[in-house]
Every structure is written in structure tokens, then in C-alpha cells.
Amino acid sequence: RLGTLTLAAGRGITVSNDLHGGTETQQLVIHSGQDNNIDGTFEIATNKTINTGGRVIITAMDVNIMGGISTHNSSIAIHTSGNSRTVGMGVTQKQLQLDAQEIQRLTTSGMSIGGLTSGSVTVGGITPAEARTVTSIVTISATSDDAQVLFQASGAAFESAAAQADNGIVVESNIVTPTGPLTFDADIDDDPFADSHNKLELIGPRILKAQGLLTLDSTSSGIERRGAGTLQLIGGAGVIINNSI
């Protein structure tokens, strides 16, 4: 392909052949669920590849990545069609599910998942080997009304990560980013009245460790520890705690 390309459909898009081309300034935009039907899935067939130099933006009811996506020095963004659909990264099945094997088929410099229209995001069961081709920052956004981010006990491994939520972040696992920053913002709208949870909740003995800067933020309801054990906060470039623990 030459130039920016937009693919749009009401009830799903399937890429059955290799799709190549595009520079860093030429986005590939895919919207496979414009009418918000449950079958608005974006799918890449087995052994087929999207290979582009530009950013890839996917909006879908669900994704089924059996082939691969490579964006070289650009990023991938995945959003849900329809409002408040739940998102899963790793082992937990949600309405839009990106499992660990699908993450392993992405080669990208940065990734974002969720956003203003997506619901809560659950993350877990992602090993360093499965996430090794997703470099730079992985941004996990549950910023629609009342949405939360949950890091399950099964864990997740990314080079660098940022988690943002409207109504709180719950951390049940140790999180280590070996090459860059680690940021949590559990109350992205800084509104003390509109949401019930609004806190960064750290459960049990936890290690949060960043090679870069470690930042903890939850303006309205602060940072809460639940359960026994030691909390270790480690930042190679410093630790910023913006609220009371």
C-alpha cells in the first residue's frame, strides 16, 4: 500500500492475505465494528502478516490475531467498538480479548489498549517471553466512567508500562519494568464524587519496580494497602508517590 489506509466495516474485517507498505507518517486505521454488532471482530488469518512502518489503530468488538502485525518503530492502539466493553490482556476472557499468544505475534514500538469508550481492563498471565517483541511503553487505559484496571495474581511483564483508570487500579501481582518507567494513575479525572473506588489498591506483599521512574498517583482516594507483607517500591530514576498510603 501507498499512503494512509482506512478499512471500515459494520460486522467484522478479516485479513486473509499479507498486507505490506506504509511509512511512519502513514497510519493504518481499522474499524471492524462500526454498527456495534457483537460480530464486529477483527481477524488476521494464520500465517498472514500486516507489515507497516506506520501506526496501526484497531477498533473492534473483539480481535483474533492468528497471524502477525509488525509496525517497526511505530505503535499499535486497540480500542473497543461500543461503550464500556470489558477488555482482557492475557489469560482472562473478556468481551475484547487479547491473549498472551496474540501479544507474542505483535512486533511494535509501544502499544495502547482500552481508552475513553472501553470498560474495565483485566491483565494477567503474560510472561517476558510473550511480551518481548512489544517494546517501549504499554499503556493500559480504563478511562470511561466507572472503569477499573486489575492486574491479576498471574502477573504481567512489559518493558515499560502505564496504567490509567477512572475508578481505581487493583494490583494483585508484582510488576517489574526492566527497561523503562512504571506509572499508575488510579483516578484519571481527579473527581472525588463521581466514582466509588478511585484508589490504587495494592494487595498483599508487593514489589513495584521500574528501571526508570516509578510513579504512584490516585488523587481522590489515595493509595491503599490490603493484606500483610512488605511493600517494595523501587525506581531506577526515582520514586514519586503523589498521595498518602
Question: Against a cut of 0.85, is the pTM above it?
Answer: yes
Q: CA-CA distance, 24 to 54, in Å (whole number)?
A: 4
Residue 96: predicted pLDDT: 95
pLDDT, one tens digit per residue, over 3-23 is: 889 999 988 999 999 999 888
Closest CA relative to residue 49, chosen from 19, 12, 24: 19
Predicted confidence (pLDDT) at residue 37 exceeds the cutoff of 90: no
CA distance 121 to 148: 6
Q: How many DSSP H helices and E strands does the chain contain? A: 2, 26
Residues 222-244 have a mean pLDDT of: 96
- Asked if 64 contacts 34 with a C-beta cutoff of 8 angstroms, the reply is no
Containing 128, the helix (H) or strand (E) segment is: helix 128-131
Residue for cell digits 505503535?
75
Judge residue 46's burial from the number of C-beta atoms within 10 Å of its C-beta, 0-12 exposed, 13-18 middle, 19 or more buried: exposed
User: Residue 22 has what pLDDT?
Assistant: 84
Kindly tell me the sign of the dihedral angle through the C-alpha atoms of 59, 95, 165, 198.
Answer: positive
